[in-house]
Amino acid sequence: MLVSLDANVWIFALLGSNSFCEKILLNLSEFDIVVPNQVRAEVERNLSSKYVKRFYQVSHEADVQFNYESVPDVYISMFEAKGLKKGDAIIGGFVEWQQVDKIVSDNRDFLRGLSAGHHFEVMSPQEFCEEFDL
C-alpha cells in the first residue's frame, strides 16, 4: 500500500501542533510513503531550516521515497476542473498518476470526498490513525 502525506500533515507533525500527525510521523517506517515534489516544496517553503532539516532526517530514517517527476498536465487539469487550486491539483494529480492508495490530509478540498471516482482514498490524520491503530 502506497501512502502520501499532504504538506500540512508533515508541517503539523514537525511543529508538534497535531497529535494525530505526530503519531503518523512516529510510525512512518510501517508504511510505504511517497512525497511528491509539490509537497516537498510546500514543506520547505513553510518551515524554518531547523524543521526542514528534521523533515529530511525523519524521511531518511523511515526510507521515505521522494518523487521529483513533473506531474503530466492531463492529471493536473483533471483536478483543477474540480475546483482545486494549482498546488492542490498537482498533488491530487500526482496521487492519481502514481496510483497512490491513500493520501492523508487536513485539506478541506481533499476531504470533501474528492477521491470519489479516483484510484486513491483521502483520509484525515485522525481517520488514518484509527484505521491503522496508531
Q: Does the predicted model carry a pTM greater than 0.95?
A: no
Can you give the residue ranges of every domain in the chain?
2-131
pLDDT in tens, the chain (134 residues): 999 999 999 999 999 999 999 999 999 999 999 999 999 999 999 999 999 999 999 999 999 999 999 999 999 998 888 888 888 899 989 999 999 999 999 876 665 646 567 778 889 999 999 999 99
Give the CATH number of domain 2-131; options: 2.60.120.10, 3.40.50.1010, 1.10.1040.10, 3.90.950.20.
3.40.50.1010
d(CA 77, CA 127): 28
* CA 24 to each of CA 67, 80, 87: distance values in angstroms, whole numbers, following the listed order: 20, 28, 23
**Strand 65-67 relative to strand 32-36: parallel, antiparallel, unpaired?**
parallel
